[in-house]
Structure 1
């Protein structure tokens, strides 16, 4: 079925065309809240009503109407009242006995409760000593990781603002989520792209004929957003399922998304990590059958002739046929050839996730997907091309141009981070986030990154706030060993995470339910402004 604009408006249940094009579910602003005067607030999993009795959170539910439920919106009581909460400032026993030269090993020592005055005095004295002895580059406050919603209480940003006022710090570049893709794509597309707003969903629902979900699980990852989810991404996937359009899901695992679409989608499960080979097999079939758009390639791209020589095996004596791709990916050659026919014969939207590039040579995945989209010649057309943010933060929900809350900045000379927390400011030096272990192992060592030779700082102090690197980082045993080298490790945390257990000093911090703030929903849409009232 091909949805017309009129059909789409009917499906969305809108009173006017304008509402239909700006929201999947343009219902009354808020769903009916629970009885008893619940508190309106928000988290990264959306706007919520939180019910409090006798000073304790007893229930929470989503505040926006929805078709697809979000189980995370019911977890506020557990988040606040779990026994894993850090309740007091704590110092590792041997560090307290001999600050800066502690015996024992991080991760093994017991912790001792201290007062806030003791903890802050200890941090200040050791911070001052390390800064004056080794300089600002010795203090790592890159503090990459998750954070709570809100334009003020952004742990990473506040830490870096403080460190900027103190004279600078060693920061980070990039992130774990898109580290390889965001380095390669500026050379391919002229922008970082993996964080850009893609073709909007109303265009897809009206014009796309085939939607490909390549290495993405939106039914899981759209439960949250970087600031707070506007909840429209899941609703749009619900409308996609109802539309009758051809949906092809390419994923080695049977994910929640595969189950959600069921018989209304075709599931293809290649071998893990063989996406590029499969794409090359499709590309080769396009050339063999003359289905690639030569006019588009000539007008809008550079470098295609060199790529085609590689594709046809003229440079390495290996032709990237569908049979060759089948031998690597495990997907039958006939199916790979059929995909080429389907992609070229229809208005096709290639949606891809970030997970496929979180590996060695990961930059090739997104680079090749853009190449394949260029060969189809549909980039920039209504409902065709590619997009990398449909699976996170509700990419594709149209952007509003009304009032947008500015956020507190890591910069001390004014300015706003505008929500781009991955663009770190006021660091005297920065390392790629995933090379923190190498920096600790090899201080002053040289390394290559993005075409340049750089030098690792000699890190003597780490302060991490708003994220858990022990769950992000690869090779945890190597991380634990390198983590013993700094003279001071401070962790600001709500819970006894692995990172907190490997600190010298642990400072307890509030959850977003325990303070006042404001947030926008929709990192791309700016759909709502939500008061985050202290519960």
Structure 2
């Protein structure tokens, strides 16, 4: 093989100032690719979609110049202006780029200087030659499991330009599956493994008892570790914001809302809720205290437990302390969670005496032993006996993608596949690839090739990976324990990143391929993950800027160079694929008597809306199971809610017992072996989607001293001499970051809030332990599996200390292009 390395809020108020496009706006039109910005004509308006909702893109003088929400959006996100800036961001990747040391010396060269080296612009032909040559080399030298294609992240919506599926499709077809895949996700990694054992379903991504039913029937609405007024601004598909009108309706009823959270959230303030400031990571203990009160005072629903659950009798000895000598009383719980015992007892009586909906966030399971939280929540709801009743029970997705918005009678669009086969009994998984790991264990894999690991009752071995290809994600922001990750990444010979911005991840790459934004290509998608209220034509707003190419075009070219173009494309181009997806919806419409127009009519209109049905407005989760558990059993071995799981018992894991259990995390606020005095709450940010839009002008609306804001309680600030607006250093044994102090009483003493998703900007790139100049919370978090069962991430497990920063403030470099970029 030749060596290729030897050569070189009112809709109009949304966009006040949005046409000021930052540094990119001063570039002359000649810097744009020839013919760019003509998709909508020199002037025009294009309806398209995003994670933040549908919107109208305004094109003026050949540029994407303004943005207004779609008229059908009941609550447009205040993050929409960031979309426009993302297209013209100063951090936009303009050309194919290769790290100089890598280009001159080949794979494995100077891996310790990744993140600090300059880049060299190359042609697309050269870049793709390097990519394909390296894919082949790694397969030949290291076998079918030498490449990791487990790209993960909130890719753009769209049924065709699913970059993760396209990557795996190219490797599955072009390299005969010579890559390592991954399973699970960072959002719900623990729950999506434990819930099938408990309820026979994933649960976390399924429709909830709908909001009209909640408004009418729920007396006590509990938001436990979730902030839906914040997180429902976004969706995996195109957000419909269908829950927001019901938030208003529930508020008007004056019924009780309780928020259990270390921070007074946007949701708590909107509902004027009773705020219970629990200590982080102690939710299971508090739930056990409520459960003990219910049991001790004979307030639990014994009949429901008898008929609809399995194993409560095996859980009771633990609850009462008979099995371990420690009754899980409200007083015991107070000592752990910091919530007064009287409050815990009052909650037990309130929940039992009223129709109660326990709405839980996913933060509870993104921590050490996270499997226990939702298992215990389901157990508590079972003791209340309201599961399957209108407005009662529990819900794990009210905060995600507007779960609970009534569903429309809509066809379901298919999408591009990764070329693998669906796994029997697990439709969300495929058999693509030569091997697979739990997603959050990527650093473990790099550090420990050949080591054995447990996962959900199985044992596997970590492969030796030498090449990682990442699309549609930003692991140098979303993965835990950044400094450990920096060192582990040096195990790779080659790191390829395909994206549209110079994210922290792209800056650590060897080969960088410039991809388009979702607004420089055509696609098709649903509006509303749960509501499915419309199908939208995601029309191209402008042509790709500079030398960006669509993910489809990039992987088509890679497949062609691997001799598999025909198999990859199935003889369809972009519009051919989109039309084929839509025609499947037409067939479903004919079968279900749904009015679905022909493709040309739909594409010309830009959107097709569907009617919400009466059944959609009255859906109650688990109602059928409650009505007849014999004819409508759950997918568990017993067909019942499994409070005690014999399957988990057989696994014999020391960190995941057979019933929900309070287990000390590796560290927590006031924990028995905890070294640092403060907990770092890494909640979802309020002005971006994880790390998306951090690299845009939207950051100016929330940054403090140009850095990620850090909420700190007044008492904690006073004792450390920290004032509002100061730059602070947050630190522990894993890392150190700078942030901007926001001193407030809206967070529990002993807790700092540093939202996840802030872009990593090390003062000394490539050096583990470097001070992060901007505020990446994952410099501080723990990178261990939740347990041997799920091996999920512990992004909410972190303790640290904070001090006022008094040195010379280092430059933040991550929001511009790197050297020669």
TM norm structure 2: 0.59
Matched, 1:187 2:197: yes
Tell me how large the CA RMSD over aligned residues is: 1.6
Partner Cα distance (1:44, 1:498) in 2: 21
Following superposition of structure 1 onto structure 2, how do residues 310-329 of structure 1 map, counting pairs within 5 Å? 310-329=318-337
Deviation per residue, 1:442-499 (Å, 9 max, x gap) = 1111011112211001101110101111111110000110101111110001111111
Correspondence for 2:474: 468
- Which residue of 368, 376, 391 corresponds with 1:360? 368
Following superposition of structure 1 onto structure 2, how do residues 114-513 of structure 1 map, counting pairs within 5 Å? 114-165=122-173, 166-168=175-177, 169-262=179-272, 265-411=273-419, 423-513=429-519
- Cα offset for 1:254? 1.5
Aligned length: 493
Deviation per residue, 1:398-434 (Å, 9 max, x gap) = 2233222211111267x89xxx8x6344122110111
Partner Cα distance (1:81, 1:508) in 2: 13
- Cα offset for 1:205? 1.4
- Cα offset for 1:109? 1.4
Partner Cα distance (1:139, 1:167) in 2: 12
Correspondence for 1:533: 539
- Cα offset for 1:90? 0.5
Contact 2:44 2:60 in 1 (8 A): no
Matched, 1:70 2:61: no
- Cα offset for 1:167? 1.2
- Which residue of 91, 102, 118 corresponds with 1:95? 102
Matched, 1:57 2:57: no
- When residues 378 and 501 of structure 1 are mapped into structure 2, their CA distance, relative to the original with a 3 A threshold, is same
- Cα offset for 1:384? 0.8
Deviation per residue, 1:236-271 (Å, 9 max, x gap) = 222222222211111111121122222xx2111111
Partner Cα distance (1:287, 1:405) in 2: 47
Q: Give the SS at the match of 1:394.
A: coil
Q: Give the SS at the match of 1:75.
A: helix
- Cα offset for 1:103? 2.6
- When residues 89 and 357 of structure 1 are mapped into structure 2, their CA distance, relative to the original with a 3 A threshold, is same
Partner Cα distance (1:469, 1:63) in 2: 32
Partner Cα distance (1:443, 1:197) in 2: 40
Contact 1:60 1:75 in 2 (8 A): no
Q: Give the SS at the match of 1:531.
A: strand
Contact 1:40 1:49 in 2 (8 A): yes
Q: Answer 1 or 2: higher relative contact order, Cα 8 Å, separation at least 6.
A: 1
Contact 2:242 2:531 in 1 (8 A): no
Contact 2:108 2:492 in 1 (8 A): no
TM norm structure 1: 0.90
Partner Cα distance (2:325, 2:71) in 1: 57
- Cα offset for 1:69? 4.2
Contact 2:53 2:77 in 1 (8 A): no
Partner Cα distance (1:429, 1:488) in 2: 19
Deviation per residue, 1:307-334 (Å, 9 max, x gap) = 1111111011111111111111111111
- Which residue of 64, 71, 91 corresponds with 1:84? 91
- Cα offset for 1:152? 0.5
- Cα offset for 1:525? 1.8
Deviation per residue, 1:86-118 (Å, 9 max, x gap) = 111110101001222313521121111111000
Q: Give the SS at the match of 2:310.
A: coil
Partner Cα distance (1:281, 1:316) in 2: 16
- Cα offset for 1:213? 0.5
For structure 1, list consecutive stretches of 5 or more residues without a partner in the other structure: 1-35
For structure 2, list consecutive stretches of 5 or more residues without a partner in the other structure: 1-42, 542-821
Deviation per residue, 1:107-130 (Å, 9 max, x gap) = 121111111000000111111111
Which piece of structure 1 moves more, 375-384 or 74-83? 74-83
- Cα offset for 1:156? 0.6
Contact 1:276 1:368 in 2 (8 A): yes
Contact 1:378 1:385 in 2 (8 A): yes
- When residues 425 and 47 of structure 1 are mapped into structure 2, their CA distance, relative to the original with a 3 A threshold, is farther
